[in-house]
Homo-oligomer: A and B are copies of this chain.
């Protein structure tokens, strides 16, 4: 199950979320076009993704929700849980913690870091906050594999370097500042300003067309 397209990985994660909701509502089977509708994509794409992971549904009955959830889990989850840290316990960091808390047992946010002495030592939504000085040490002792960066832009490069040195294998950078990581560390960057400017561009485009 190696070479799944990046986009397929993203969609699998989304399918699973939608499927979990279906499962709760008691639905046992679902059609490709139902999944597609939820995600604003085509049924063909859903079927293609599922083909790639080797899942086969039942003709005229659709896909077994429970089975599919489990299969997606086998593919994208690790066998043991993965420990995650959030660096920067500002609004964004706390938003993420609330978002994730209690959602997936596979990925658990085990530590937050900040430089603000008022925050250090406290627990926020169940996540203990440590000082940045302890970053390197705790990454190792808590076996943290992924770091989510929600620090101010000016700290981005430094924090990324420290995360890498401490042995993190994946970084999710929410800072507007691109950072560099060596081969072997997976980097995902997301920039909210870009998204907003993109929306603004297409709004303007549409306006101009009239």
Fill in one digit per residue for A178-207: 1 if any B CB lies within 8 Å of its CB, else 0.
Answer: 101000101110111111111111111111
Out of B180, B194, B203, which one reaches A13, CB within 8 Å? B194
A82 contacts which chain B residues (CB < 8 A)?
A: 200, 203-204
Q: Does A172 contact B (CB under 8 A)?
A: yes
Query: Is B178's CB under 8 angstroms from A76's CB?
Result: no
Out of B2, B96, B199, which one reaches A188, CB within 8 Å? B199
A41 nearest CB across to chain B (Å)? 10
Query: Is A194's CB under 8 angstroms from B14's CB?
Result: yes
Query: Is B17's CB under 8 angstroms from A201's CB?
Result: no
Q: How many of these chains are in the complex? A: 2
Question: Which residue of B has the minimal Cβ distance to A14?
Answer: B194
Query: Is B92's CB under 8 angstroms from A196's CB?
Result: no
Restricting to A18-58, which residues have a CB under 8 Å from any CB of B?
A: 18, 38-40
What CA separation (Å) do A44 and B148 show in the bound complex? Answer: 30
Q: Does A94 contact B (CB under 8 A)?
A: yes
A146 contacts which chain B residues (CB < 8 A)?
A: 196, 199-200, 203
Q: Does A60 contact B (CB under 8 A)?
A: no
Question: Number of contacting residues on A, CB 8 A?
Answer: 63
Q: Does A160 contact B (CB under 8 A)?
A: no
Out of B94, B171, B190, B201, which one reaches A91, CB within 8 Å? B94
Q: Does A84 contact B (CB under 8 A)?
A: yes
Query: Is B95's CB under 8 angstroms from A203's CB?
Result: no
What CA separation (Å) do A76 and B106 show in the bound complex? Answer: 40
Question: Which residue of B has the minimal Cβ distance to A18?
Answer: B178
Task: Identify which of A62-70, A97-105, A111-119, A131-139 touches chain B.
Answer: A97-105
| Chain A residues with a Cβ under 8 A of chain B | 2, 6, 9-10, 13-14, 17-18, 38-40, 75-78, 82, 84, 90-92, 94-96, 98-100, 103-104, 106-107, 145-146, 148, 150, 169-172, 176, 178, 180, 184, 186-188, 190-207
8 A-B pairs whose Cβ atoms sit less than 8 Å apart in the complex:
A18-B178, A40-B187, A75-B201, A82-B200, A91-B98, A146-B203, A169-B206, A172-B196
